[in-house]
C-alpha cells in the first residue's frame, strides 16, 4: 500500500527557494538572460569603477579632443578630451546608486504608508489618499525641479527627491494589495488567535504585499534612470565634475554636427540599460501575475 | 449635472491643497528672497527695508492667504528679477506650450490608434510583435534623447527642419508648423508608446466580447467591427490616460522647449528656477497644477457624460 501523501513541510528557506524557482525557473528565453547579463555588467561597473584600470574620467587630454572610437582609446574622447569609456563606467555609478536609493525610498515610505492605510482604514487612509492626490496634481518634472532647488544636488538629495516622486505609486499599489489580503481567512485566523497588530502586519500582510511591490521595482528603476538623466540633461542632477550619463549626452549635444559619438555612445548605453530593466521587469512581473491569479 | 455638484467640493479642496503645497514648496526654498534680489554685500538696512516692502516679515500663513487672495483675482505678483507681471508672462508664453502639447497628443493618437488596431486584430502574429516591440523600445527612450536624435537626423543631417527657434502662428502658419514639428514629434513618441500599449490590451479584451462575435457572425467586415464596435468602448480608457498623461506632456515640454529654445511656459519655469525667481516659480507651478487638475476634472465629467454605464451607475 502506497504511503499516504503528506503535504510537504517546508522551511522558510525552502519556500523562498521554491518561489525563486517559480519566478526564474523555466523558459525566459535568451533575450531575458542577455538583458540580465547587461545589467550585471552595469552593476559591476558601478561598484568597481574606482578599482578598474581606467583612465581618469576627469582628466582632460587636449590632444584627444573629440577623438572617435577606437582611435587611441576604446570609445574616444569628449569635447574636453576626457575618456568616454571611463566616464561611462563612472557615470553608471550615479545611475545605479540613484536607481536603487530612489526606488527603495519610494518602496519603503510608500509601501509602509499604503499598508497602514489599507489595514487601519479610517481617517489615516482618507488623509493619505488626499495627500497623494495633491502630489499627483503636479507634473513630475515640475515637482522634481522645485524639490531639487530646495534640498540641493548631492547624490543623496537627488535620490531623495526622485524617491519622493515614487511614493504615491507605491502607496497605491500597497494599499490595494493590503485591502485584498486583509479579507483573507489567514488574517482572520491570526486575529482570532490573538496575534498582536504588529505581528499580523509583519508576518501575515507584509509577505503577501511585498512581492508585487518588488516586482514593480525593476521597471520603476528604469524610469528613475530616465528621470535622473533628464535632470542631469538640464544640469540639475549631481554637480559637475562627477560624470553622469544624462550630463554626457547634454555635453555631446554641442558636438552633434561634428562628433556624433560623444552624444551617441552614452545614449545607446542608457537606452540599452533602461530597455533591459524594462524587459526583465516586465517578464518578472508577468510571472508574478500568473502566480497571483493562481492563488 | 448632479455629478458636477457632487464632485465640486472635492475639486475645491484639491485646488486649495495644491495652492498651499505650492506656496510651502517654494516658500521653503533656501535663500532670503530679499538678499537674492539685491545681491550680496548690501547693507542690512536695505535688506530689512525690502523685506518689509515685500511683506516677508509677516507670518507664513498670512502671506499664504494674501498670495492666494490675489491669485484668485488673477494677480500672481510681479517678478522682482524681470519686472514682468507673472500672469502676463505666463499668458504670453502659454500658446506655444499649448500648441506643442496638443500637436504631440494628436500626432501620438493618429499614430497609436491604427497601429493598435492592427496589432490587436492580429494579436500574437509577427506584425503584432514588431509593433509591440517598437512601442516597448520607445518607452525606454527619454524625451530629451529623442529630441537630440530628431535634431541630428532632420535638422543637422537632412536640413529639412530648423533645429531651434519659434515663429508665431499668426506671423506665418507654415513656418510655425515647420518649427513646431520636431519638438512635437519628440514629445509625441513617448505618449505614442503609452497609448499604443494601453489601447492594444484594451482592444484585445474588447474583441473577445460576445457582441463582437455577433457582429462577425452577421457578416460585418472586420475593419467596420474594429472602428465602430471595438474602438468606441476603448476610447474611454484612452481619454482617461490622455488626461492623466498630461503631466508627462508638461514635464516633457519643459525639456523639449529648452532644447529647441521655444518661448513656452516650460522654458520660463526652468529659467526662473535657475535664476531663483521665486515669485515666478510659484506662479507658474500654481498655474500648471491648477490647469492639470481642472483638465482631469473635465475629463472625468466627460467620461460620465459619454458613457451611459457610468452615468446611470453614478
Å between A267 CA and nearest CA of chain B: 7
Q: Which residues of B touch A136 (CB under 8 A)?
A: 247
In a domain, A260, yes or no: yes
Distance CA B169, CA B1 (A): 37
Identify which has the larger pLDDT, B298 or A58. Answer: B298
Distance CA A68, CA B285 (A): 43
- CB proximity under 8 Å: A 87-106 to B: none
CA angle B254, B255, B260 (to 5 degrees): 105
Q: Which residues of B touch A229 (CB under 8 A)?
A: 142, 144-145
Nearest by CB to residue B288, choosing from A133, A139, A260, is: A139
Q: What is the pLDDT of residue A291?
A: 42
Of the listed ranges A21-30, A172-181, B218-227, the one predicted with least confidence: A21-30
Distance CA B168, CA B163 (A): 16
- B251 burial (CB, 10 Å; 0-12 / 13-18 / 19+) is buried
Cβ contact, residue pair A145, B269, below 8 Å:
yes
In a domain, A263, yes or no: yes
Contacts of B203 by beta carbon, 8 Å cutoff, 6+ apart = B116, B117, B119, B120, B121, B226, B230, B231, B234
Distance CA B147, CA A263 (A): 12
Q: Is B56 helix (H, G, I), strand (E, B) or coil?
A: coil
In a domain, A52, yes or no: no
Nearest by CB to residue B148, choosing from A143, A234, A249, is: A249
For residue A261, pLDDT beyond 80: yes
Q: How many CB pairs under 8 A join A and B?
A: 120
Among candidate residues A50, A68, A69, A67, the one with its CA nearest the CA of residue A58: A50
Expressed as residue numbers, the domain containing A249 is 33-45+75-294
Cβ contact, residue pair A134, B141, below 8 Å:
no
CATH number at residue A101: 1.10.3720.10
Q: What is the pLDDT of residue A59?
A: 73
Mean pLDDT of A12-26: 69
Cβ contact, residue pair A275, B270, below 8 Å:
no
In a domain, A58, yes or no: no
Cβ contact, residue pair B18, A260, below 8 Å:
no
Among candidate residues B104, B69, B76, the one with its CA nearest the CA of residue B90: B76
Distance CA A135, CA A113 (A): 15
In a domain, A218, yes or no: yes
Q: Is A71 helix (H, G, I), strand (E, B) or coil?
A: strand
Q: What is the pLDDT of residue B11?
A: 85
Q: Is B78 helix (H, G, I), strand (E, B) or coil?
A: strand
In a domain, A15, yes or no: no
Q: Looking at the complex, does the CB of residue A156 fall below 8 Å from at least one CB of chain B?
A: no
Mean pLDDT of A68-84: 74
What total of structural domains would you count in chain A? 1
In a domain, A60, yes or no: no
Distance CA B304, CA B308 (A): 7
The four Cα atoms B304, B306, B311, B314 give a dihedral, to 10 degrees, of: -20
Distance CA B171, CA A105 (A): 50
Express each pLDDT in A122-171 by its tens digit. Answer: 888 888 888 888 888 888 888 888 888 777 788 888 999 999 989 998 99
Q: What is the mean pLDDT of each run of 10 residues along chain B (314 residues)?
A: 76 87 75 66 74 72 82 79 84 90 93 90 87 88 87 82 77 78 89 89 85 85 82 80 84 89 89 83 89 86 72 56
- ipTM for the assembly: 0.82
Q: What is the pLDDT of residue A294?
A: 38
Q: What is the pLDDT of residue A154?
A: 85
Mutate which: B29, B31, B144, vs A, most A CBs within 10 A: B144
Å between A219 CA and nearest CA of chain B: 10
Q: Looking at the complex, does the CB of residue A122 fall below 8 Å from at least one CB of chain B?
A: no
Cβ contact, residue pair B28, A150, below 8 Å:
yes
In a domain, A1, yes or no: no
Q: What is the pLDDT of residue A295?
A: 35
Q: What is the pLDDT of residue A75?
A: 74
Mean pLDDT of A195-219: 85
Amino acid at each position: 500500500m502506497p504511503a499516504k501523501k503528506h503535504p510537504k513541510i517546508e522551511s522558510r528557506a525552502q519556500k523562498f527557494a521554491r518561489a525563486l524557482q517559480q519566478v526564474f525557473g523555466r523558459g525566459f528565453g535568451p533575450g531575458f538572460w542577455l538583458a540580465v547579463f547587461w545589467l550585471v555588467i552595469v552593476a559591476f561597473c558601478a561598484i568597481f569603477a574606482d578599482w578598474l584600470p581606467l583612465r581618469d574620467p576627469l582628466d582632460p587630454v587636449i590632444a584627444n579632443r573629440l577623438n572617435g572610437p577606437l582611435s587611441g582609446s576604446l570609445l574616444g574622447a569628449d569635447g574636453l578630451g576626457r575618456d568616454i569609456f571611463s566616464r561611462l563606467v563612472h557615470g553608471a555609478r550615479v545611475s545605479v546608486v540613484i536607481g536603487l536609493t530612489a526606488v527603495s525610498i519610494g518602496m519603503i515610505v510608500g509601501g509602509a504608508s499604503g499598508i497602514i492605510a489599507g489595514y487601519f482604514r479610517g481617517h489615516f487612509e482618507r488623509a493619505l489618499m488626499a495627500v497623494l492626490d495633491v502630489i499627483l496634481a503636479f507634473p513630475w518634472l515640475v515637482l522634481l525641479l522645485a524639490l531639487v532647488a530646495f534640498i540641493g544636488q548631492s547624490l543623496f538629495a537627488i535620490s531623495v527627491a526622485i524617491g519622493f516622486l515614487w511614493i504615491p505609486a507605491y502607496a497605491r499599489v500597497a494599499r490595494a494589495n493590503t485591502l485584498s489580503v486583509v479579507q483573507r481567512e489567514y488574517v482572520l485566523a491570526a486575529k482570532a488567535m490573538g496575534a498582536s497588530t504588529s505581528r499580523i502586519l509583519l508576518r501575515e500582510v507584509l509577505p503577501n504585499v511585498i512581492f508585487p511591490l518588488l516586482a514593480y521595482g525593476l521597471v520603476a528603476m528604469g524610469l528613475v534612470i530616465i528621470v535622473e538623466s533628464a535632470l542631469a540633461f538640464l544640469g540639475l542632477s549631481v554637480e559637475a565634475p562627477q560624470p553622469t550619463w544624462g550630463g554626457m549626452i547634454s555635453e555631446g549635444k554641442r558636438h552633434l554636427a561634428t562628433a556624433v559619438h560623444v552624444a551617441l555612445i552614452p545614449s545607446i548605453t542608457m537606452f540599452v540599460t533602461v530597455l533591459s530593466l524594462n524587459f526583465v521587469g516586465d517578464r518578472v512581473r508577468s510571472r508574478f501575475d500568473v502566480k497571483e491569479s493562481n492563488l | 449635472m448632479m455629478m458636477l455638484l457632487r464632485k465640486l467640493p472635492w475639486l475645491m479642496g484639491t485646488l486649495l491643497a495644491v495652492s498651499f503645497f505650492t506656496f510651502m514648496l517654494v516658500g521653503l526654498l533656501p535663500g532670503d528672497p530679499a538678499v537674492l534680489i539685491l545681491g550680496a554685500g548690501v547693507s542690512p538696512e536695505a535688506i530689512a527695508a525690502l523685506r518689509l516692502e515685500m511683506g516677508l516679515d509677516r507670518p507664513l500663513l498670512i502671506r499664504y492667504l494674501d498670495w492666494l487672495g490675489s491669485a484668485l483675482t488673477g494677480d500672481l505678483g510681479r517678478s522682482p528679477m524681470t519686472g514682468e507681471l507673472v500672469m502676463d508672462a505666463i499668458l504670453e508664453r502659454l500658446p506655444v506650450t499649448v500648441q506643442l502639447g496638443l500637436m504631440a497628443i494628436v500626432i501620438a493618437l493618429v499614430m497609436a490608434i491604427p497601429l493598435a488596431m492592427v496589432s490587436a486584430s492580429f494579436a500574437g502574429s509577427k506584425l503584432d510583435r514588431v509593433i509591440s516591440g517598437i512601442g516597448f523600445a520607445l518607452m525606454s527612450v527619454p524625451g530629451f534623447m529623442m529630441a537630440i536624435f530628431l535634431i541630428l537626423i532632420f535638422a543637422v543631417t537632412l536640413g529639412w527642419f530648423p533645429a531651434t527657434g519659434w515663429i508665431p502662428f499668426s506671423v506665418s502658419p507654415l513656418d510655425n508648423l515647420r518649427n513646431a514639428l520636431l519638438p512635437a514629434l519628440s514629445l509625441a513618441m513617448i505618449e505614442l508608446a503609452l497609448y499604443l500599449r494601453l489601447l492594444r490590451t484594451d482592444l484585445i479584451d474588447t474583441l473577445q466580447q460576445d457582441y463582437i462575435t455577433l457582429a462577425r457572425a452577421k457578416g460585418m467586415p472586420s475593419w467596420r467591427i474594429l472602428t465602430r464596435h471595438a474602438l468606441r468602448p476603448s476610447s474611454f480608457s484612452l481619454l482617461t490616460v490622455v488626461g492623466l498623461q498630461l503631466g508627462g506632456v508638461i514635464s516633457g515640454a519643459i525639456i523639449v522647449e529648452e532644447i529647441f529654445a521655444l518661448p513656452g511656459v516650460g522654458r520660463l519655469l526652468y529659467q526662473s528656477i535657475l535664476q531663483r525667481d521665486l515669485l515666478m516659480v510659484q506662479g507658474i507651478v500654481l498655474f500648471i497644477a491648477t490647469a492639470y487638475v481642472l483638465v482631469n476634472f473635465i475629463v472625468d465629467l466627460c467620461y460620465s457624460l459619454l458613457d451611459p454605464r457610468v452615468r446611470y451607475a453614478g
